[in-house]
Structure 1
Amino acid sequence: MDGNFYLDALVNGDSKVISKIYDINFKQVKRFIVQNKGNAEDAEDIFQKALLQIAVRHKKDGIQINTSFDGFLFTVCKNLWRRELNTHKKRVTISEVIELVSEAKDNANAIVEQKRQELFIEMLDRISENCKMILSLFFAKTPYAEIVANTEYTSETVVRQRVFKCKKKLTELIKQDQRFNSLREL
């Protein structure tokens, strides 16, 4: 079943399919959140927010998923959890004033962040296979020496130059896209 089947099931409230989504995906999300300063309750909250956010975006914007639904859902959960951790870091508690970020603003920021991720992935698909491979290794923090050992490149300098050129090409593609300006940091 493709990702759009799951999107439609979320929007229509199909409890059997939603239960299946939980069965397949929740353990992985819970493991990620618990390993990253969270607990089971946090995982449940993030999973619910992610499903709600995905359903709302599909209903409102008609989003399409070109990757696996499971991977898409996990990425949304991961982004929401990172945003949650960053929010807790930025809160300052003074005895007289406690500033809390509104949930609506937080959700809007999460949606923008997800759209940025989608634009990045879409543009990554447009660059050459060689650049995709090099950037995937680079973004996975693979040491340059290991990249040289596993590719046809002859030195770390050559790999660094290739990474630079591929990142430049990816950046140009992203900046040329009409969605770029609306997704930039304000």
Structure 2
Amino acid sequence: MYQIEKMDSSLYLNALVEGNSRIISKIYSTNFSQVKRFILQNKGGVVDAEDVFQKALLQIAVRHKKEGIAIKSSFDAYLFTVCKNLWRRELNSKKNRVTNQEVIELVSEAKENANALVEQKRHELFLEKLNMVSDNCKKILSLFFAKVPYAEIVESTEYNSETVVRQRVFKCKKKLTDLIRGDKRYLSLQEL
């Protein structure tokens, strides 16, 4: 096993934005087990931990690219805090969902149709941009969005480990996100 050298936060941030596989792999090997342990201890599973970790890395990369964030603490501590906040937000949203089937929300037909139209336009934009990424990314993302476990994705692709697949999913999601956000229609289709 190789020794992970100490790097400053800006190097990690730039590696996320640039998609540097070597450094992203180090981020995974250094931090994922702690995030997984936290989520398993707080009503979550391994898949939840993987999703939260991916979202956190993507969120940090996008924020750094957009705002050029500077981390005052260590990168590891910052990443763990982002993961904890994402998981707590997820738990809170699950807790606040109404499960009473007798509650009927009164929504005007016009508002419902407008929401359906916006949702359709979002879906069309998503599919259009998905078709712009490489064939490899399309395959990986299709499997990921279908919630195929990482182990099965490894078996059906040329990749040799789940870590490599996670990195590829991260890069492909980032590319897709950049394409969507770069489209002039994106702002008009955001949720208010």
TM-score normalized by structure 1?
0.51
Give the one of 38, 41, 45 matched to 1:32: 38
Cα separation, partners in 2 of 1:71 and 1:94, compared to 1, 3 Å: same
Partner residue, 2:20? 14
Residue 44 of structure 2 corresponds to residue 54 of structure 1: no
Match of 1:70 among 76, 84, 95: 76
- The structure-2 alpha-carbon separation of the partners of 1:98 and 1:68, relative to structure 1 and needing over 3 Å to count, comes to farther
Distance 1:55 1:94, change over 3 A: same
With CA pairs under 8 Å and 6+ residues apart, which has the higher RCO, 1 or 2? 2
Q: 1:98 to 1:6 in 2, by over 3 A?
A: farther
- The separation in 2 between residues aligned to 1:87 and 1:34, in whole angstroms, is 18
Partner of 1:2: 8
Aligned pairs for 1:79-158 (under 5 A) are 79-95=85-101
Q: How large is the Cα RMSD of the aligned pairs?
A: 1.7
Deviation at 1:45, TM superposition (A): 0.3
Unaligned stretches of 5+ residues in structure 1: 100-186
Percent of residue pairs bearing the same amino acid type: 73
CA deviation string 1:91-137 (max 9, x = no partner): 012447799xxxxxxxxxxxxxxxxxxxxxxxxxxxxxxxxxxxxxx
Amino acid at match of 1:33: I
Aligned residues: 99
| 8 Å contact kept, 1:11–1:59 | yes
Counterparts of 1:94 and 1:12, CA distance in 2? 46
Unaligned ranges ≥5, structure 2? 1-6, 106-192
Pairwise CA distance, 1:67: 1.0
**Over 6 Å off, 4+ runs:** 96-99
Task: Tell me, yes or no, if the aligned pair for 1:46 and 1:77 is still in contact at 8 Å.
Answer: yes
Give the TM-score taking structure 2 as reference length.
0.49
